[in-house]
Amino acid sequence: MDAPTPTPPATPSPSPSPAIGGKPDTVARFLAYLIDAVAVYAVGMVPVIGGLVGIAYVLARDGLEYDFMDRRSIGKKIMKLRPVRLDGQPMDLRTSFMRNWPLTIGSLAQVLWYVPIVGWVLLPFVAIAGLAVAILEVVRVLTDPEGRRWGDLLAGTKVVVVEN
């Protein structure tokens, strides 16, 4: 009898990447946020006006219809992520505002720094509130099966992986 021919060892498959339309990798989502945060911080260095422009960007970024953004933030565009509405409608400014207002609390601290007395008194409270909301948002992204943060729950959205 012939000895059975040995089968070649199985080659390990590459680590799976998130499926198109699926839950994004946490690192990709963090990098998208970091890209946007750096841009907002840089703009916010211009006293008051820069901070307000940064807050406006954070609020509106997922609903802007500019070709280079395609109804998502610059960070999400670079990382090939997209916020989508659960009702199937396209993202709009109203949904973007509902989704992103919790993230503007921390940005407000940049503006308060330049407001004498009242701003300086409010600054620590706003900074602590912004940090608490940021922690809540991170915990939600890490623990929710779909990676939906609090802002996503408020707006009826989630972030998915896209091809472009």
Mind listing the pLDDT tens digit for each residue in 114-152?
899 999 999 999 999 999 999 999 999 999 999 999 999
pLDDT at 15 (0 to 100): 41
Q: Is the pLDDT of residue 49 over 50?
A: yes
Handedness of CA 114, 120, 125, 127 (dihedral sign): positive
Q: Average per-residue pLDDT in the chain? A: 89
161 within some domain: no
109 within some domain: yes
Considering the entire predicted model, what is its pTM?
A: 0.82
Q: Quick one: pLDDT band at residue 3, thresholds 50, 70, 90? A: low
Question: Tokens 């989630």 belong to which residue?
Answer: 158
Handedness of CA 48, 51, 55, 61 (dihedral sign): positive
Q: Quick one: pLDDT band at residue 38, thresholds 50, 70, 90? A: very high
10 within some domain: no
pLDDT at 16 (0 to 100): 45
- Overall number of domains in the chain: 1
32 within some domain: yes
Which residue, 115, 107, 155, is CA-closest to 133?
107
8 within some domain: no
Q: Which range marks the domain in which residue 60 is found?
A: 26-155
55 within some domain: yes
6 within some domain: no
- Number of CB atoms found within 10 A of residue 138's CB: 14
Q: Which amino acid is at 109?
A: A
65-120 per-position pLDDT tens digit: 888 889 999 999 999 999 999 999 999 999 999 999 999 998 888 889 889 999 99
163 within some domain: no
pLDDT at 12 (0 to 100): 45
